[in-house]
Amino acid sequence: MADRKCELLRADREAALTEKRQLAHDLGAHELLRQLDAVYAALQREPSFQTGTDFSVGYVEKLAEELKAALATLGVSAEKLDSVRVVATLSDAVSAQMTPFSDGSGLVIVSDGVISTCSSYCQYDALYIDRWLDRRRLRASVKTRMYKNADVLTGLLRYHTTNQRVAGVTTQLGMRLSPRGQQVAWRLNGLAYRFVIAHEIAHYVLGHSSAPSSFAPGEHVPVCSENERRERDADLLAFRATRRASEIQEDGRLMEMEAVASATKGALIAMLSLDLTEQALFVRRGCTHPPASIRAAWLLEELDGHWRKVMHKFFRIPVEATAAAALISENASPFSWESVSSAPIYSSMPQSHISSIGELDALQCLHESVQISVLNDRRSGSPAWLAEGARLASEGNPMQALVQWGLSESTSHRLCNPQKALTFFTLKDHLAASFAAQGVTGDWLQLYSVIAANLLASRLNAPRP
């Protein structure tokens, strides 16, 4: 069954690339268009290239096989390892999950969005290493000020999560790194990706049962054990497998301390990326992974005193940045270009788009009373049905609010179903489609749909009485 469902879930990345190319064209992002065309031309030159196939299959399968080989050396049975499959999905309706099936097979699903989030952490760390190794730059305090607080990393993460949360698009800002830094970032991202996959495989090989999902990811709430002992066991086995896979691939070229540090960093970054994705992207996510701070504490217990201290120091800024990036409230610091300007950041997107992401981030962080007043402002042409829906939402009646805002009863029931996973952008897109059908256009459509989704988000995440 895992093989069949794996094939059904494989992404058509060529179609996704075409869609991203159209978006870049519409936004006037000429540099991004050039980069996308170069990527596609390189893919077409690959011997294994086939139209409509998932370009990521080779890389994902390679990582999965490396982890299986590592797990075999740790005593996991070959029969168990042969029956688990791994697939990456473009859908952000799941972060990472494992599904066991009645025939004894298992399927691991990992979202591209989680891996993209990992990349932001990895690039930031690689830039720090670049500066740390360059003693001449290190002496210039202005060059290293960015590493003394979490502002830059918070900005990078908020840009990424706002794109995901509001637009349903996975995109990020880039960092100008030296060739050495690029290599560090790429290797660290590979370790983080390995850990995400290894954690889900570990659930399967350890026999942690959970309810299987439907064919489509996100059909039910993401499955993750409520038993913290199981989560801890899966994390520790994943860490050992990630480290062992790295040692096998490097074939003894890494010193033991470097292998420990790299594998630990990769695991910590993976934990933070999952935590941030599940906090920022999902309105309703069911039982998911434990908070990264708890998982990190388990992992650091595996290290000796020196490395535990080193990793605690490394972890401080990413933890602060993750908490700040996940915060959607009037106390948050929304993304702005100025928040990351102290770092060598670049983007292939036009400045107008970058500014619009900052505006959308600021919009979703307005105090609820301000958001309600916007929907009630008849002077701006706000229709009466919009204000009535805002009243119902604020009174804790999300189902009635959705119907008042023009959604069908069946769709409203589905969006309010506590057993179904729900992302913010899915909720916002349903509202935007309904508002557009009722004559709302232009900038007002984006404004009203984001505010309406925000008003509903906390109510839809609460369990039904």
Tokens 């960015």, residue located: 146
pTM for this model (two decimals)? 0.83
In the chain the first and final C-alpha atoms are separated, in Å, by 37
Q: Where are the domains of the chain?
A: 56-346, 366-461
Task: Give the tens place of pLDDT for each residue, 229-244.
Answer: 888 899 999 999 998 8
What is the pLDDT at residue 415? 93
Lowest mean pLDDT among 158-167, 241-250, 361-370, 418-427: 241-250
What is the pLDDT at residue 464? 39
What is the pLDDT at residue 30? 67
Question: What value does the mean pLDDT take over residues 232-258?
Answer: 78
**pLDDT-based confidence at residue 143 (cuts at 50, 70, 90):** very low
**Residue predicted with more confidence, 208 or 257:** 208
Evaluated on CA atoms 389, 392, 398, 399, the torsion sign reads negative
Q: Is pLDDT at 262 greater than 90 in this prediction?
A: no
Question: What value does the mean pLDDT take over residues 155-168?
Answer: 89
- Give the separation between CA 414 and CA 399, rounded to whole angstroms: 10
- Give the separation between CA 453 and CA 465, rounded to whole angstroms: 21
Nearest alpha-carbon partner for 276 in 328, 199, 206: 328
Task: Give the tens place of pLDDT for each residue, 175-228.
Answer: 888 888 888 898 889 899 999 999 999 999 998 765 443 333 344 444 444 567
Contact 24, 33 (CB under 8 A): yes
Residue 407, Cβ density class (10 Å: 0-12 exposed, 13-18 middle, ≥19 buried): buried
Nearest alpha-carbon partner for 201 in 90, 275, 97, 60: 97
What is the pLDDT at residue 435? 95
**pLDDT-based confidence at residue 76 (cuts at 50, 70, 90):** very high
Tokens 């003693």, residue located: 135
**Residue predicted with more confidence, 428 or 308:** 428
What is the pLDDT at residue 428? 94
Tell me if residue 88 falls in helix, strand or coil.
strand
What is the pLDDT at residue 301? 84
DSSP string of 145-174, one letter each residue: GGGGSSHHHHHHHHHHHHIIIII------E
Q: Is pLDDT at 29 greater than 70 in this prediction?
A: no
Q: Is pLDDT at 115 greater than 90 in this prediction?
A: no
